Amino acid sequence: MTRISLSINGVSHEADVEPRTLLVYFLRECAGLTGTHVGCDTTSCGACTVLMDGQTVKACNVLAVQADGSEVTTVEGLATNGDWHPLQTAFHEEHGLQCGFCTPGMLMASVGILAENPDPSESEVRHALEGNLCRCTGYQNIVNAVLAAAEQLRSSAAQG
Partner 1 sequence: MATAEKYVGGGVLRKEDPKLVTGQGTFVESITLPGMLHVAFVRSPYGAATIGAVDTVAAAESPGVVAVLTGEDLAGEWAAGLPMAWPVTDDIRIPDHWPVAKDAVRYVGDAVAVVVARTREQAADGADLVSVDYEERPAVVDIESARADGAPRVHDQFEDNDCYTWALTNGDVDAAFTKADIVVTERYTQPRLIPNAIEPRGVVVQPVPAAGDYTIWSATQIPHIAKVLFALTAGIPEAKVRVIAPDVGGGFGSKLNIYAEEIVCLVLARRLGAPVKWVATRSEGYVATVHGRDQIQEMEIAADTDGRILGYRAKILANMGAYLQLITPGTPLLGAFLFCGSYGGEAYHFECTGVFTNTTPTDAYRGAGRPEATYAIERAIDALARAVGVDPVEIRKRNFLPTGEMVPSPGGLAFDTTDYEQNLDRALEIVDYDSVRAEQRARRESGDSKIIGVGLSTYVEMCGLAPSQVLGSLNYGAGGWDAATVRMLPTGQAEVVTGSSPHGQGHVTSWSQIAADALGIGFDDVTVLHGDTQVAPHGMNTCGSRSLSVGGIAVHNACGRVVDKASRIAAHLLEVAPDDLEFEGGTFSVKGVPDRQATIQEVAYAAWTAHSLPEGEEPGLTEHHVFDPPNFTFPFGSHICVVEIDTETGEVEIVRYVAVDDCGNVVNPQIVDGQVHGGVAQGIAAALFEEATYAEDGTLQTSSMLNYLVPSAAELPSFELDRTVTPSNSNPMGVKGIGEAGTIASTPAVMNAVLDALSHFGITDMSIPATPEKVWTAIRDAKGGAA
Contact pick of 4, 23, 33, 64 for partner 1 (by CB under 8 A): 33
Question: Quick check: 3 binds partner 1 (CB under 8 A)?
Answer: no
- Please tell me whether residue 26 binds partner 1 under the rule CB under 8 A: no
Give a three-class secondary structure readout of the chain. Answer: CEEEEEEECCEEEEEEECCCCEHHHHHHHHCCCCCCCCCCCCCCCCCCEEEECCEEEECCCCEHHHHCCCEEECHHHCCECCECCHHHHHHHHCCCCCCCCCHHHHHHHHHHHHHHCCCCCHHHHHHHCCCCCCCCCCCHHHHHHHHHHHHHHHHHHHHC
Q: Which of 67, 102 has the CB closer to partner 1?
A: 102
Q: Does 134 bind partner 1 (CB under 8 A)?
A: yes
Considering the rule CB under 8 A, would residue 112 count as an interface residue with partner 1? no
Report the distance separating Cα 59 and Cα 46, nearest Å: 9
| Binding region for partner 1 (CB under 8 A) out of 51-59, 62-70, 120-128, 148-156 | 120-128
Candidates 8, 13, 26, 36; binder of partner 1 (CB under 8 A) is 36
Establish if 83 lies at the interface with partner 1 (CB under 8 A): no
Residues making contact with partner 1 (CB under 8 A): 18, 20, 25, 28, 33-42, 44-45, 47, 74-76, 78-79, 84, 88, 91-93, 95, 97-104, 107, 122, 125-127, 129-143
